[in-house]
Amino acid sequence: MRKLLVAAALAAVAGCGPSRSDVTGTVSYRGRPVVYGTVSVIGADQMTYYGPIRLDGTFAVTGVPVGPARVGVYSPDPYFEPPIPPAVKAKAEEARRAAGIEPAPKPPRGQWVRLPPKAADPLTSGLTVEVGPRPTVAELRVE
């Protein structure tokens, strides 16, 4: 009975801290800030969380479970225009507006940097972070 009480007390204490937190910071590649794209974080719960990269190279991913996490950085060419028929493009634009989604601002030409493909996938990027109970600040350096 005593072991059961001790186990219950330990479980109660362990559950007192916050179980989720935010990951914020900067992203760079070869010393240059990454100014466009998305940071993805596979949290301790094996779910993926996303946050946009701002024009100043900062990012924020909210609600990530506390514990070890893998990180990916996806930065597609902001000026690439896929060959989409005008009617399809107009319909997609209409749907985006109806959903209230604002397009990410494009960086000035010449500031975007091409990242290695492996950087986009948290499983291959080599980037990790330990998410703590307080907001975690990470300096992500893509190799």
Report residue 15's pLDDT band, with 50, 70 and 90 as the boundaries.
low
Report residue 17's pLDDT band, with 50, 70 and 90 as the boundaries.
low
Side-chain half-sphere exposure of 7, counting CA atoms within 13 A: 4
**pLDDT value at 45 more than 60:** yes
What are the structural domain ranges in the chain?
Answer: 18-142
Report residue 104's pLDDT band, with 50, 70 and 90 as the boundaries.
confident
Type of residue at 9: A
The percent of residues above 90 in pLDDT, for the chain, comes to 81
Choices 3.40.50.300, 2.30.40.10, 3.40.50.720, 2.60.40.1120: CATH for 18-142: 2.60.40.1120
Exposure class string for 96-115: b at 16+ Cβ within 10 A, else e: eeeeeeeeeeebeeeebbeb
In angstroms, the CA 136 to CA 51 distance is 14
